[in-house]
Amino acid sequence: MATKPNVKPTVPVKKPEPVAVAEPEVEETASDSAESEQMEYNDLDLDDFINEEVMKQEEKRDQAMKERGLLPYLACEKGVTKFTLLRAKPTTRISSFNKEQYVLKVNHKGELKDWTVTINSPFARDVLDKLRDAPIEVSVMRSGVDKATRYEFI
């Protein structure tokens, strides 16, 4: 005689209905206000946020430089950079590599900037020779990075 497997009858189970609970009313505090501002801040488009932060940083930097009587520095890109070397006596400063540098005045794309050259480099002598004829248009070739950076007039 064949036996039937134990099969339990299925009984439909009714799920309980969710109960609506009223949210307690709470007065907005300073921390709630800050949270709401933070949420609005987080809702900004990422590109807008980045652009806004970069602009704030540039304004801070420009203001600090203006207060100290400094100009933006000319950052020569790898390759050739053209600018006008202006006739002005160079000042000096100490670089991040603890080297003494000349700070020269240049005009790059219509903007007055400072340009630094290490005093003990052979290139500094070439710069001083060019400074005799200033203001003069120059083209500078940059190669290397950090301490291995080299410049030459072309």
pLDDT tens profile 86-95: 999 998 988 8
Burial class (CB in 10 A: 0-12, 13-18, 19+), 130: middle
Amino acid symbol at 39:
M
Q: Which residue has the tokens 């900037």?
A: 113
Contact by Cβ (8 Å): 105, 118: no
Measured in whole angstroms, how far is the alpha carbon of residue 15 from the centre of its chain? 56
Q: How confident is the model over 46-92, as pLDDT tens digits?
A: 888 899 999 999 888 878 877 877 788 887 778 898 999 999 999 89
**Which of the two residues, 122 and 68, has the higher pLDDT score?**
122
Count other C-beta atoms under 10 Å from residue 104's C-beta: 23
pTM (predicted TM-score): 0.56
At residue 132 the predicted structure's pLDDT band, cuts being 50, 70 and 90, is very high
